[in-house]
Amino acid sequence: MKRSGLTEKRILHAALALFVKNGYHGTSINDITKEVGLTKGALYAHFQNKGELLLKIIDEFRIEYIEKMIKTVDAHPGNAIDKLNCAISFSSRFALENPDLCLFLTFLTTELNTDVDFEPALKSVYRDYQKFISELIRDGIRQGLINPGLDPELAALTFMAIHDGVLHQWALNRDRIDGEKYVKTFRFIFVKGLMAQEQEEGGAAS
């Protein structure tokens, strides 16, 4: 059977939505085929099993979110704080435009972090994410903008934890949350907490 890129995208989109809604283990191949309107045979012509679908979605997250965020932030002018703010802006836009893909790892990491089939792929994505944010923080320390007493690796993990928590609460309360104000609150709390003391004092005086 001829493989169709459009059909593969439909399958991935349906699987992603179901994984976010019901969890990976709570979603069956039958659920996915029913959602897409395909037979099992037609789905298996594109993907060998449910696990291959999940790994493809993880890779899609890496390409569409991590790699594009890095490219966008690297091209953004300014110092490390400017670039961190760019990363936050990119993340907020991505969440609005790709809610399921953005929530995907946030919702499924707990379920899958001990699964030997998927743990390496999940950890690899998060390592790339942490490495990039920690390098921005190191740059900020070298530039005298960020508190030198902070551990860049731990600060990056804190950024990721807050970011995931923000996404989770946004998903639960989006009907009553002002998204723009929510992002501004996240931005203020995290970036303000990173600032070197002299930067805070200078900001207060200006």
Which residue has better confidence, 111 or 66?
66
pLDDT band per the 50, 70, 90 thresholds, residue 205: very low
CATH architecture of 55-205: Orthogonal Bundle (1.10)
Q: What is the DSSP string of the chain?
A: ----HHHHHHHHHHHHHHHHHH-STT--HHHHHHHHT--HHHHHTT-SSHHHHHHHHHHHHIIIIIIHHHHHHHHS-S-HHHHHHHHHHHHHHHHHH-HHHHHHHHHHHHHHTT-TTTHHHHHHHHHHHHHHHHHHHHHHHHTT-B-TTS-HHHHHHHHHHHHHHHHHHHHHHTTT--HHHHHHHHHHHHHHHHB-HHHHHHHHH-
pLDDT digits (tens, 9 = 90+) for 39-56: 999 999 999 999 999 999
If you compute the radius of gyration of the chain from its CA atoms, what whole number of angstroms results?
19
Residue 59 has pLDDT above 70, yes or no: yes
Spell out the domain ranges in the chain. Answer: 1-48, 55-205
- Look at residue 99 in the predicted model and tell me its pLDDT: 85
| 34-42 mean pLDDT | 93
The amino acid sitting at 205 is A
Residue 204 has pLDDT above 50, yes or no: no
- Look at residue 143 in the predicted model and tell me its pLDDT: 97
Average pLDDT, the chain: 88
**For residue 111, how far is the Cα from the chain centroid?**
16
The mean-pLDDT minimum among 31-45, 60-74, 96-110 falls in 96-110
The highest-level CATH class for domain 1-48 is: mainly alpha
Give the percent of the chain with pLDDT over 70: 93
CB 54 within 8 A of CB 104: no
**In the block, residue with structure tokens 């303000």:** 192
Which residue has better confidence, 119 or 194?
194
| 138-157 mean pLDDT | 96
Q: What is the 3-state secondary structure (H, E, C) of 106-150?
A: HHHHHHHCCCCCCHHHHHHHHHHHHHHHHHHHHHHHHCCCECCCC
- Look at residue 2 in the predicted model and tell me its pLDDT: 46
pLDDT digits (tens, 9 = 90+) for 159-191: 999 988 888 888 888 888 888 899 999 999 999
- Look at residue 1 in the predicted model and tell me its pLDDT: 41
- Look at residue 119 in the predicted model and tell me its pLDDT: 83
